[in-house]
Amino acid sequence: MNAPDLLLLRTAPKAPRTLRWTGAALELLDQTQLPGTVTYRRCTTLEDVRDAIVTLQVRGAPAIGLAAAWGLVLGMAEQDALPAERWGEALEAAAARLRSARPTAVNLAWALGKMLAAVDEQNLSGRAGREALAVHAAFLQEDDERVCATLGAYGASVIADGARILTHCNAGALAVAAWGTATAPMYHLQAQGRRFKVYADETRPVLQGARLTAFELSQAGIDVTLITDSMAAHLMSQREIDLVMVGTDRVTRNGDVVNKIGTLSVALAAKHFGVPFWVACPLSTYDPATLTGQDVPIEERAPEEVTHLGGQRVAAITQVRNPAFDVTPADLVTGGIITEAGIARPPVGDALAALLRP
């Protein structure tokens, strides 16, 4: 595979920044207020950051990992006076507290693991430890941008001119440091001046597609059409979709794809109608330690996300299920998995392992 052209690193992002570190605080774009209001939550403590993750003010697998990395910096700033021998234990406890915020996206544990390794390698504690954590959190954030730009170039290479692309949830700029994962190929195509069209599933119950993907793509001047989740199969049956491109919260060793609830229905319909199903997956989201998607904890969220819309009750009953993610079996990934190391084509589990083999 040729080295990708990192065109996006030479392009100014159009979406508002998801995370901003000020030196003393983490400012998070409050995604619960979008698309109506662009406002930032200022987090100065670990608990502020954890709460922002739990309440989806910051969401999307890579973004919650990055927020947690900065949350660890803030948490350890609260512990500056701790004796050196107790610092490591406090660091582990702070990481565990952040890791417990959401269970499904592996990026949370991945980013915190990288942060712990960074201070461990240098055997640091106290103020020096905290400064090293801040340096590493900044590195992870910058690296995420480079990773997404690379994914964008690889992803764009599999999209034909004039393609009509269906996406689900928001695997966009708002879910990462910049550019997104599933949307990075779209921004890359736009920067190349190529023609394409996007369909965004609204993504019940939290409406990440309607509120976030439609917002960021339309703000960027990309041709995007909103549909309800139940319309996707119909559009495929009418030959109005050329390919599906989604993000993921975790890809397991066998190539199963855990992503926002509803992704499985899209993949099943795509297989039926012969529409290629692609997944954009930074390696921070690949979890070879977990064998299959059935081994991944699926977050169950509050019933009010289903019974209410915009604060208004829309359901007659309160007995509901609300799993936030589902598992798309590897054999439904008919296009491939796009990573910053290249593209894994079916069978995707084996191809991912081969891609990463030194």
Q: How far is the CB of 62 from ligand MRU (least distance, A)?
A: 6
In the three-class reduction of DSSP (H, G, I as helix; E, B as strand; rest coil), residue 244 is classed as strand
- With binding defined as CB under 6 A, does residue 150 bind ligand MRU? no
Cβ neighbours around 167 below 10 Å, total: 28
Question: Measured on CA atoms in the order 231, 170, 106, 350, is the torsion positive or negative?
Answer: positive
Q: How far is the CB of 107 from ligand MRU (least distance, A)?
A: 8
- With binding defined as CB under 6 A, does residue 152 bind ligand MRU? no
- Looking at 144, 201, 249, 256, which residue is catalytic? 249
Evaluate whether 178 touches 17 at the Cβ level (below 8 Å).
Answer: yes
Q: How far is the CB of 32 from ligand MRU (least distance, A)?
A: 11
Name which position in 59, 136, 211, 271 contacts ligand MRU (CB under 6 A).
Answer: 59
How far CA 160 is from CA of 83, 217, 280, 330, in Å, comes to: 59, 19, 17, 24
Q: How far is the CB of 224 from ligand MRU (least distance, A)?
A: 16
Which residue is it, tokens 């403590």?
Answer: 45
Q: How far apart are CA 233 and CA 328, in angstroms?
A: 16
Closest CA to 170 of 137, 218, 237: 218
Name which position in 248, 307, 334, 339 contacts ligand MRU (CB under 6 A).
Answer: 248
- With binding defined as CB under 6 A, does residue 60 bind ligand MRU? yes
Q: How far apart are CA 196 and CA 148, in angstroms?
A: 19
- With binding defined as CB under 6 A, does residue 260 bind ligand MRU? yes
Rounded to the nearest 10 degrees, how much is the dihedral formed by the CA atoms of 298, 168, 264, 53? 0
Residues 179-238 that bind ligand MRU (CB under 6 A): 180-181, 208
Q: How far is the CB of 277 from ligand MRU (least distance, A)?
A: 14
Q: Which single residue brings its beta carbon nearest to ligand MRU?
A: 247
Instruction: Read off the amino acid at residue 106.
Output: V
| Of 60 and 155, CB closest to ligand MRU | 60
Stretch that binds ligand MRU, among 34-42, 237-245, 247-255, 340-348 (CB under 6 A): 247-255
To the nearest 5 percent, what fractions of the chain are helix, strand and coil?
45, 15, 40
Counting Cα atoms < 13 Å in the Cβ hemisphere of 140 gives 32
- With binding defined as CB under 6 A, does residue 105 bind ligand MRU? yes
Q: How far is the CB of 77 from ligand MRU (least distance, A)?
A: 26
- With binding defined as CB under 6 A, does residue 256 bind ligand MRU? no
Q: How far is the CB of 181 from ligand MRU (least distance, A)?
A: 4
Pattern of binders to ligand MRU over 108-127, x per CB under 6 A?
--------------------
- Token readout for 146 is 């480079």
| Of 107 and 125, CB closest to ligand MRU | 107
Q: Is 249 a catalytic residue?
A: yes
Name which position in 176, 275, 333, 343 contacts ligand MRU (CB under 6 A).
Answer: 176
Q: How far apart are CA 45 and CA 51, in angstroms?
A: 10
Question: Which DSSP string corresponds to 32-72?
Answer: GGTTT---EEEE-SHHHHHHHHHTTSS-SHHHHHHHHHHHH
- With binding defined as CB under 6 A, does residue 324 bind ligand MRU? yes
Name which position in 28, 169, 177, 332 contacts ligand MRU (CB under 6 A).
Answer: 169
| Of 87 and 187, CB closest to ligand MRU | 187
Evaluate whether 49 touches 95 at the Cβ level (below 8 Å).
Answer: no
Catalytic positions are: 249
Residues near ligand MRU (CB under 6 A): 59-62, 105, 169, 171, 175-176, 180-181, 208, 247-249, 259-260, 324
